[in-house]
Structure 1
Amino acid sequence: MDPKELGRRDFLKYGLALAGVGALGSQLVYPVDLAPAQTEKKGKIKDPIRIGAQATLSGPFGGYGQFMKMGAQLAVDEINGGGGILGSKLEIEFRDEELKPDVAAKNARYFVDDWGADFLTGIDASSSVMGVGAIMGELDRVLIVTHAATEKLTENLVYKQGIKQIFRISVPVYQDGIAAAIVAKDFPAKRWVTIGADYEYGHTSWNFFKATLQKLRPDVEFVEEAWAKFLTSDFGAHITKVMAANPEGIYSTQWAGEAVTLIKQAKLFGVFDKVQTWMTPMGGAMDVLEGLGKEYPEKAWVTSRYWFQYPDTPENQAFVDRFYKRWNKYPHYVSETTYSAIYAIKAAVEKTGTIETPEIIKALEGMTLMTPAGTRYFRPEDHQAVYAVPWGRITHDPKYPFPTLTDLKVISAEAYYRRPPFEA
C-alpha cells in the first residue's frame, strides 16, 4: 500500500497511518510529502529487516523493558501480518541495557557488527543513550530512541555535533521540567523543594523546572534539595531534610520502583498532609500506577511520555484496544513510543524504497506521523519528535484497576519545547 494512501481507516485495521497533514498543539501544522513514486523499490529490500532494541529488562526498573517489548512485538506482528515492509518481514531482538552506558554501547555494537541490525531502537537511561549516541556515526545505523530523555542527545549530539543517525520519538526532559513549571505556576505553592534522582535526568529536570518557574512566578522560592543515589531504597533522610524547610510543593524525579518506594514512605511520614502539591514527572507511568494502586495520593500531579487516555482519537483507542486484547494490560508510555518508532521505520522505508541509512535519515527529517499519542513531527534540525503529552492529577476511577489522571493540563508543544539554536 502506498503510504500516501494510508488513512484513518487503514490505521484502525493495521496500526499507524501517515498523516496528510498533522496538527500539533493548537498552532503547529506540518505537511507530509509522500509522493507515490518515492515508494517504489530501488532494488530488493533485505529480508528480514532487523531491528536491534535494548531496554532495562532486569532489576527494579525491569518493568520498563517488559512493557517496551510488548509495544514492539505488537507493532512487528501487525506489520508482518500485513505483508511486512515492501514484502520484507521484520525481525526484532532485545538485549538488557542494565542502565549502564558501557553495556548499552556494547549492545549497539553487537546488534550492528554481529547480528546485522538495520535499525536500532529503545534505550531507557540518559547516560546509556549518550554512550550509544556518541558511536552512531561510526555504526551508521538509524537509532530511534523511545525513552531516554536527556536534552543533550538531540541538542548536542544531533544539532551541534551533527550525528544525524540519531532520532528520538519520545518527549525529552522539556516535559519533565519546563512543562511541569508551566503547570505549577497556577498552584498556590511558593516554597518548593526537590527529592531528586542524583544523576543526569534528575538534575536537568530540576534545573529546567526552577529556571522556568522562576520566570513565570518570581515570587516562588526553592528552599531545599535532597539528592538520592541510584537504587535508593530508604528515603527517610531525604524526606526529613526537605520537610525541615517547610515546603509547600515537592518536585521529585524518581521513577519506576524508586518512585513507588518514595511515595509510600512519604505517606508514612505524613508528607501529603503537610504540603499543598506533589509533582512527579514519571509518576504517570503504568508501572508506578500499578505499583501504588489505592495508596497513590490524589494530591500528586504526574505525567509521562504518553497517556493511554489521551488524545481521544480513534487511532489511540484502536491501539489501546489492540494492546489490551494482546497483553491483558493497558499500554505503558514506552509501549506506545516503541510501537510508534517501529511504524516510523516502516514509513521511512516505504517512502524511500531502501534501508540505506542516508536515505532513511532524509525520509525521517521533517516527517509527520499520526500515532496513538497524536501527531508527531520530526524536526529536521535536531531530530526530536514534537508532540504534546498532558499533565494530570491522580484520581481513583473504579473502571480501572489502577489510578488514572484527572484535571488534564495539555500544553501546546510550541510553548515548552526548546528550539534551535538551544542557547541558554
Structure 2
Amino acid sequence: MTLIRRTVLGALAALPLAMHPITASAQETIVLGEVNSYTRLPAFLEPYKKGWELAIEQINAEGGVMGKQLEVVSRDDTGDPATAIRIAEELVSKEGAVMIFGTFLSNIGLAVADFAKQKEVLFLASEPLSDAIVWSKGNKYTYRLRPSTHMQAAMLAEQAAKLDAVKWATVAPNYAYGQDAVKAFKSELKRLKPDVEFVEEQWPPVFKIDAGSTVRALEQSKPDAIYNVTFGGDLAKFVREGSLRFLFEDRDVVSLLTGEPEYLDPLGGEAPEGWIVTGYPSMAIDTPEHDAFEKAYMDKWGEKPKTGSIVGYNSVLTIKAALEKAGSTDTAALLAAMDGLEVASSPTGPFMFRAADHQSTMGAYVGKTGMVDGAPAMVNWAYADGADYLPSEEDAAKLRPAE
C-alpha cells in the first residue's frame, strides 16, 4: 500500500510540471478559425490561402501580435452551408478560435454570419459579395472585407453609362450574389442614364450553365449591350458559345469579376477583348506597398499573385489591426475595435471598416480585357476607391435590421 501511495502521489506531483509547457504554448498563441470551399473553388482559394499564409508568416516573424504568435486552423467546407456551420462550431468550441474568417460563396457566408450572431463570435467575411451580408441580413458580429456586389456593380455602371447602348440584357447565376449583382447594376445604371431599358434576363444555375440556350435567348433579344456576372467554368462556357455565335460582335459587354486572373487567365486565346471589367491587374500595379507584397509572394510561392492572394493577405492584415487596436482577444473588445477600424497600409492601399454597416472601403480595379504579350490581361485600368461607391453611412444603417 505504501508503494502504491507513493507512486500515485509522485505522479500527481509531476502532473503540473508535465502540463506546464502545453499551457504556456497555448498562452503564446492566438488561434484564428478559417473556413472556405477549397475543394469546390481551388482556382480562387488556393491563391487566397497562399495570401493569408504569407501574411501570417510575416507577422509572426516580426514578433506576432501582443507578443503572441498567430495560428490559423483552417477547414474545408466543401461548398456546403451545413458543413461550414459545423466546422465553425468546432473551430470555436474545440480549437479555441477567438474569431472566424473566410468563406467564398454568398450562401455559405450568410450561413456563417448567422452562426456568428447566434454564438456571439466575430466573423470577418473575407470574400462573399452578397449585399445581404452587411445590409438586409447584417449583424453586429459580421464584417465584410471585399468590395461588395453593389460597390463593384456601381463601378461598372459608371462606365456603362458612358456607352451609347440603351437596350441591355443580363446574365447572372441564380443565387444571392448574381441576384444582387443584377439588381445593383440596373439600379445604378438607370440612375445615371434613365433612358436605358433591360430587354432580357438569363438566370442559369451556378456552375451548371446551359451556355447554348443562354446565348440563344440573349441573341434573340437583340440588346445593344450585355451585363455578365458568370464566373469560373460558367464564364468559360459562356465566352466560348457566345464567340461561336458572334453574340459579342459589335456589342458592348460589361462583366463583373472577369478581369480577375483566376477567371481571365484560363480563357487563354479565347479571352474576349474590350470587355469592361472589374479585376486585378497584378503585375502592372506600381506602388511601394504592392511591389513589396508582389516580391514577397513570388519569392515564397514562385508565381504571380492573383485576386485571391490579395483577399487572403488583406484579411490577415485586418485581423492584426483589430487585435492591436483591441489589445485583447475578447469578443466585445474586438467588436469595438472593428468599428471604424483603419488598415493604414496594404497592397491595395489604405481602407477602413464603416461602423454603420460593417463594410470595408477596400476598392477594386476597373478596366478592359485585352492581350499583353500574347496572354489575356486587364488594360487601361484604374483603381476605384470603395468609399466612393457606397451609400452614406446614415442611409446604409437604414438597410440593416434593428438589433
TM-score (norm 2): 0.87
Instruction: Indicate the percent of aligned positions where both proteins have the same amino acid.
Output: 26
In structure 1, the partner of 2:377 is: 404
- Tell me, in whole angstroms, the C-alpha distance in 2 between the residues paired with 1:310 and 1:229: 34
Counterpart residue number, 1:373: 348
2:20 matched to which residue of 1?
none
2:303 equivalent in structure 1 = 329
* Structure ranking higher on relative contact order (CA contacts 8 Å, 6+ apart): 1
Residue identity in the other structure for 2:317: Y
In the TM superposition, what whole-angstrom CA distance separates every residue of 1:168-225 from its partner, at most 9, and x where no partner exists? Answer: 1111112332221111001122211012111111111111111111121122121111
Which stretch of the first structure deviates more once superposed, 91-100 or 414-423?
414-423
For 1:357, the equivalent position in structure 2 comes to 331
The equivalences for 1:157-176 within 5 A come to: 157-158=137-138, 163-176=139-152
Map Cα deviations across residues 41-95 of structure 1 (whole Å, 9 max, x no partner).
xxx9933211111222124x22222111111111111112222222211211222
In the alignment, residue 108 of structure 2 is paired with which amino acid?
S
**Counterpart of 1:96?**
76
Change in Cα spacing, 1:316 to 1:192, as seen in structure 2 (3 Å) is same
Distance in 1 (CA, whole Å) between partners of 2:64 and 2:331 is 19
Amino acid in the other structure paired with 2:256: P
Question: What is residue 51 of structure 1 aligned with on the other side?
Answer: 32
1:14-413 map, 5 Å: 46-59=27-40, 61-158=41-138, 163-275=139-251, 277-304=252-279, 307-308=281-282, 312-369=286-343, 370-398=345-373, 402-413=375-386
**Which secondary structure does the structure 2 equivalent of 1:331 belong to?**
coil
Whole-Å Cα distance in 2 between the matches of residues 99 and 191 of structure 1? 36
Quote how far apart the aligned CAs of 1:229 are.
Answer: 0.7
Aligned Cα root-mean-square deviation (Å): 2.1
Larger radius of gyration: 2
The amino acid across from 1:292 in the alignment is L
Name the structure 1 match of 2:13: none
Q: Does the Cα contact within 8 Å between 1:252 and 1:280 map onto a contact in 2?
A: yes
> Any conservation in 2 of the 1:121–1:338 contact (CA below 8 Å)?
no
Partner amino acid for 1:283? T
- Post-superposition Cα deviations, 1:9-49, rounded to whole Å, max 9, x if no partner, equal xxxxxxxxxxxxxxxxxxxxxxxxxxxxxxxxxxx993321
Mapped contact 1:183–1:409 kept (Cα < 8 A): no
Match of 1:415 among 359, 382, 388: 388
Separation in 2 of the partners of 1:77 and 1:167? 24
Runs of 5+ consecutive residues of structure 2 not aligned to the other structure? 1-24
Alpha-carbon separation, structure 1, partners of 2:49 and 2:61: 18
Look up the SS of the partner of 2:27 in the other structure: coil
What TM-score do you get using the length of structure 1 for normalisation?
Answer: 0.83
Distance in 2 separating the partners of 1:310 and 1:137: 40
Matched position secondary structure for 2:282: coil
Partner of 1:29: none
Does the CA contact (< 8 Å) of 1:118 and 1:141 recur in 2?
A: yes
Gaps of 5+ in 1: 1-43
**Counterparts in 2 of 1:45 and 1:86: CA distance versus 1, 3 Å:** farther
1:238 is displaced (CA, Å) by 0.5
> Is this contact kept in 2: 1:280–1:302, CA < 8 A?
yes
Given that residues 283 and 304 in structure 2 are in contact (C-alpha distance below 8 angstroms), is that contact kept between their aligned partners in structure 1?
no
Q: Secondary structure at the match of 2:128?
A: coil
